[in-house]
């Protein structure tokens, strides 16, 4: 019987203030984050953004203690998962592969090779799939496997998304119910789901299923919760002149205040770990927006972290995947019917649809506009939000 391994994928985050600039450089070197007509432009643009944004992003991290807690929480989740699997009689080693900071996905795969793993479950810690999260990590792993014959021999299965699993839904409902019950009038509190936004073009042009999965996830959580509370879904971290998924979180909070809502229970729906988007953007920035708008009862549901129900369901998912459920990377990214999970855009000169889209984007954004946007503190992906 072969050796089992589970690779947990996550974003990563700077652990010290001096990590911020190189972390930002890694992030914006990824073409799935900012799509450019030529890969030659990717590194210079990443350097520009990381240089211009470093000091402002550092200020955000100072507000939460000087660094991201994401690695520590992910390691706690990995230990809890490994222990739960052991209780279930499965001796599987858990590996952590961060996309933009240590421990990098490349490091995790090197260790997987050294350990002789031959049955691998690839499990992103993003409940919903997006091009810019799970998709980016999947494509990186695919490229690394293409170059390494040892990795190619590993029998692997991929989990594309898992937001609809009953165990995850029950864990989320449990956290929400606990926070509702802390309110003076639990049934009148408004449940406010805040998801990280993506540009509308990701959905309409690139076929990203993220919005549909987020909306379905919220509907399932509400059914599982089975409470009479009204609820709203909005998207945080929008930036720049392009259109992002709406409604926007800050606008939605102000609208609810205008409607007379007095108590908000905010649910970070895209995240299973505390990080700067929950600790600084929601807890500080959006709390201030709510209070200025007249909502003084602002509650925030914690991220799942190592919630027992979540870890239990993660163990079930890992076992199912190790036992062969799911698809390989090749089957996930290049299905035989040619209907990719999202089509890759390609730069073309001339009067083509792709060229028109790209010409419009470049004319609208441009490097100068982007630089000004970043200096003003509202750069692509609102770095104090995504990271």
CA atoms within 13 A on the CB side of 276: 26
CA atoms within 13 A on the CB side of 247: 14
15 labeled part of a ligand binding site: no
* Longest distance between any two alpha carbons in the chain, whole Å: 62
- Span between the terminal Cα atoms of the chain, in Å: 40
Separation between Cα atoms, residue 167 and residue 330, nearest integer Å? 28
Separation between Cα atoms, residue 346 and residue 326, nearest integer Å? 29
Pick from 247, 142, 120, 132: nearest CA to 195:
247
Pick from 108, 117, 127: nearest CA to 218:
127
107 labeled part of a ligand binding site: no
Task: Report how far Cα 31 is from the mean position of its chain's Cα atoms.
Answer: 16
Separation between Cα atoms, residue 385 and residue 387, nearest integer Å? 6
Separation between Cα atoms, residue 156 and residue 123, nearest integer Å? 11
> Roughly what angle, to the nearest 10 degrees, separates helices 136-146 and 105-114?
40
Separation between Cα atoms, residue 382 and residue 373, nearest integer Å? 10
- Using alpha carbons only, give the angle 189, 217, 256 rounded to the nearest 5 degrees: 30
Task: Report how far Cα 204 is from the mean position of its chain's Cα atoms.
Answer: 19
H/E stretch holding 311: helix 308-322
- Using alpha carbons only, give the angle 263, 269, 273 rounded to the nearest 5 degrees: 110
Phi, then psi, of 188 in degrees rounded to 5: -95, -10
Burial class (CB in 10 A: 0-12, 13-18, 19+), 143: exposed
| Binding-site residues | 196, 277
| Binding-site residues for Fe(2+) | 196, 277
């Amino acid at each position: 019987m072969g050796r089992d391994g589970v690779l947990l994928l996550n974003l990563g985050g700077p652990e010290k203030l001096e990590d911020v600039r190189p972390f930002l450089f890694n992030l914006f070197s990824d073409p799935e984050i900012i799509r450019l007509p030529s890969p030659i432009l990717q590194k210079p643009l990443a350097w520009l953004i990381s240089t211009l944004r470093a000091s402002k992003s550092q200020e955000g991290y100072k507000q939460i203690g000087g660094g991201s807690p994401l690695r520590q929480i992910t390691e706690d989740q990995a230990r809890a998962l490994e222990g739960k699997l052991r209780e279930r009689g499965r001796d599987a080693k858990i590996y952590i592969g961060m996309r933009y900071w240590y421990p990098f996905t490349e490091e995790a795969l090197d260790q997987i090779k050294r350990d002789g793993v031959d049955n691998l479950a690839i499990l992103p810690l993003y409940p919903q799939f997006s091009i810019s999260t799970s998709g980016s990590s999947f494509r990186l792993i695919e490229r690394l496997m293409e170059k390494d014959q040892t990795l190619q021999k590993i029998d692997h299965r991929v989990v594309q998304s898992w937001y609809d699993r009953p165990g995850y839904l029950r864990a989320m409902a449990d956290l929400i119910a606990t926070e509702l019950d802390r309110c003076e009038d639990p049934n009148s509190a408004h449940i406010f789901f805040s998801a990280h936004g993506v540009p509308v073009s990701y959905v309409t042009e690139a076929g990203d299923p993220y919005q549909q999965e987020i909306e379905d996830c919220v509907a399932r959580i509400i059914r599982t919760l089975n409470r009479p509370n009204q609820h709203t879904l909005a998207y945080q971290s929008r930036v720049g002149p392009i259109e992002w998924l709406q409604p926007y979180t800050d606008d939605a909070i102000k609208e609810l205040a205008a409607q007379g809502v007095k108590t908000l229970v905010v649910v970070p729906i895209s995240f299973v770990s505390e990080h700067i988007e929950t600790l600084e953007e929601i807890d500080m920035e959006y709390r201030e927006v709510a209070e200025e708008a007249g909502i003084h009862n602002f509650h925030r549901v914690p991220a799942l972290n190592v919630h027992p129900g979540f870890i239990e369901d993660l163990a079930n998912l890992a076992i199912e995947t190790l036992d062969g459920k799911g698809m390989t990377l090749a089957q996930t990214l290049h299905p035989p019917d040619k209907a990719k999970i999202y089509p890759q855009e390609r730069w073309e000169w001339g009067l083509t649809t792709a060229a028109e889209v790209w010409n419009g984007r470049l004319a609208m954004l441009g490097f100068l506009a982007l630089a000004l946007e970043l200096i003003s503190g509202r750069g692509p992906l609102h770095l104090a939000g995504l990271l």
